Chain A
Amino acid sequence: MRYIIPLVLFLGLVVFLAIGLGRDPHEVPSPLVNKPAPAFRLAQLKDPAKTFSPEEMRGKVWLLNVWASWCFSCREEHPLLIEAARTGALPIYGLNYRDKREDALPWLTELGDPYVLSVSDLDARVGMDYGVYGAPESYLIDRNGVIRFKQIGPISPDVWEKTILPLARELNK
């Protein structure tokens, strides 16, 4: 009996530590999940004369990926996006965040371009509307233009296979 109280306290501590230490403090829950994706109309990266707006994607399930040439983790994530684009599972659109066109274009040439198209968010205003605070970030957007999932940081193969793809399939039904 006298050992039960310390044991319970110890187990409580273990549970709290297990939860607390398992968390990534850089992952801030986004208030945008299950809210309509903020509207924008931006010039396309490869052809600045043309624009793109999420409105055009109504009726489709798609992924908006925030990237930049200065972003180291984007490089890490890139092969997965290339592979994903090759399988054609999900149309991927790029938001080139706080970047320069002359840096962004060679980056795509060098590493390959998984995007249907990218738009230039030079002054990071659209990024602000999407609550971007670090690249890469990805938003899975459903047919009605509602954000259904947000990935902060690079998409891992695990997240892609177990979260994004199943959710996209579900949304496409």
Chain B
Amino acid sequence: MKRVAVLLMLLVGVAFSIVGKDAQPLAADPVLEERVLSLAKELRCLVCQNETLADSRADLAQDLRNQIREQMKAGKSDKEIIAFMTERYGKFILYRPPMDPTTYLLWFGPFILLLGGLLFLFRYVKQRRALIIEQPLSADERKRAESLLKPQGKEIA
């Protein structure tokens, strides 16, 4: 009886595996979906701020992805869609900070720091050089140095 039950279960399993199909692609248009995803990766989810719209599972991110998809279907360019997003959510939605007066410090700050560092280094080294006092060797010292530096006859030969 038990065997029959196991056999039945196996048969049922086989039947289902025949009915089962390959997973349908989620998107009707993979090319469009690729575009949606690549743009969504450029945009920040405002609910969970360290995630992109592509990664986030928040409802808002879902809506915004749908919005991107719809606008792409309507023939809008990436640029127009980004403008749509920044008009509503501000530049904060952009993962790549744009170059404008509020971000000058961000863009140029590191170079200013580098320049400051170089300037400091240059002045410091110059200042140190001024501290070095030339001390010429006295006649005795010169003689000693020469005797030390003179090749020892035996060893060389």
- What is the CA–CA distance of A98 and B46 in the complex, to the nearest angstrom? 16
In the complex, the answer to whether B90 meets A133 with C-beta atoms within 8 Å is: no
Interface size class of A (residues with CB under 8 A): 10 to 19
Q: Are A32 and B63 in contact (CB under 8 A)?
A: no
A70 (CB) vs chain B CBs: closest residue: B59
**Of A44-52, A109-117, A122-130, the one touching chain B:** A122-130
A131 to B92, CA, bound (A): 12
User: Is the Cβ of A134 less than 8 Å from the Cβ of B88?
Assistant: no
Main secondary structure of the interface of A (DSSP, over half): loop
Q: Are A29 and B92 in contact (CB under 8 A)?
A: yes
Q: At the interface, yes or no: A88 with Cβ under 8 Å from chain B?
A: no
Q: How many residues of B contact A (CB 8 A)?
A: 15
Q: Is B12 an interface residue (CB 8 A)?
A: no
> In the assembled complex, which residues on chain B have CB atoms less than 8 Å from the CB atom of A29?
90, 92
Task: Let me know if A20 is at the binding interface, CB within 8 A.
Answer: no
Check A134 against B49 for contact (C-beta < 8 Å): no
Q: Which residue on chain A has the smallest CB distance to residue B86? A: A31
Q: Chain A residue with minimal CB distance to B60? A: A133
Q: Which residue of B lies closest to A130 (CB)?
A: B88
Chain A residues contacting B90 (CB-CB under 8 Å) are 28-31, 131
Give chain B residues whose Cβ lies under 8 Å from the Cβ of A133: 46-47, 60, 89
A23 within 8 A of B: no
B64 at the interface (CB under 8 A from A): yes
Contact between A124 and B92, CB atoms less than 8 A apart: no
**A131 and B63 within 8 A (CB):** no
User: Ordered nearest first, which 10 A-B pairs have the shortest CB separation?
Assistant: A133-B46, A131-B88, A31-B90, A28-B92, A131-B89, A133-B60, A124-B63, A28-B90, A133-B47, A29-B90
